[in-house]
Amino acid sequence: MKMKAVVCTKYGPPDVLRLREVEKPTPKDNEILVRVYATTVTAMDVRTRSFRVPLSYWLFARMVVGLRKPKRAIMGTELAGEIESVGKYVKRFKKGDQVFALAGGANAEFICLPEDAAVAIKPANMTYEEAAAVPFGGGTALHFLRKGNIQSGQAVFIYGASGSVGTFAVQLAKCFGTEVTGVCSTANLEMVRSLGADRVIDYTKEDFAKSGETYDVIFDTVGKSSFSGCIRSLKKEGIYLTTNAAPALGVRMRWASMTSSKKLIGGIASVKAEDLIFLSELIEAGKIKSVIDRRYPLEQIVEAHRYVDRGHKKGNVVITIDHNNKT
Tell me: do 242 and 312 sit in the same domain: no
pLDDT (average), residues 126-143: 98
| pLDDT for the residue 327 | 37
Q: In this predicted model, what pLDDT tens digit does every residue of 23-76 receive, in sequence order? A: 999 999 999 999 999 999 999 899 889 876 665 555 556 666 666 677 688 999
Gap between the Cα atoms of 47 and 50, Å rounded: 5
Asked whether the beta carbons of 125 and 287 are under 8 A apart, the reply is no
pLDDT (average), residues 195-218: 94
Tell me: do 104 and 169 sit in the same domain: no
Gap between the Cα atoms of 6 and 73, Å rounded: 8
pTM for the whole structure: 0.93
| pLDDT for the residue 146 | 97
| pLDDT for the residue 259 | 86
Tell me: do 128 and 196 sit in the same domain: no
* CA 40 from centroid of its chain's CA atoms: 10
Buried b or exposed e, range 3-19, using 16+ CB within 10 angstroms: bbbbbbeebeebebbee
| pLDDT for the residue 61 | 61
Q: Report the number of distinct structural domains present in the chain.
A: 2
Tell me: do 130 and 224 sit in the same domain: no
Give a yes or no: residue 150 inside a domain: yes
- Looking up residue 197, the CATH number of its domain turns out to be 3.40.50.720
Asked whether the beta carbons of 100 and 120 are under 8 A apart, the reply is yes
| pLDDT for the residue 250 | 80
Q: Averaging pLDDT over each range in 8-12, 217-221, 247-251, which range is the top one?
A: 217-221
- The percent of residues in the chain predicted with pLDDT above 90, rounded, is 80
pLDDT (average), residues 224-247: 89
Give a yes or no: residue 280 inside a domain: no
Could you tell me the residue range of the domain that residue 173 belongs to?
137-265
Q: In this predicted model, what pLDDT tens digit does every residue of 274-327 receive, in sequence order? A: 999 999 999 999 999 999 999 999 999 999 999 999 988 999 999 999 987 543
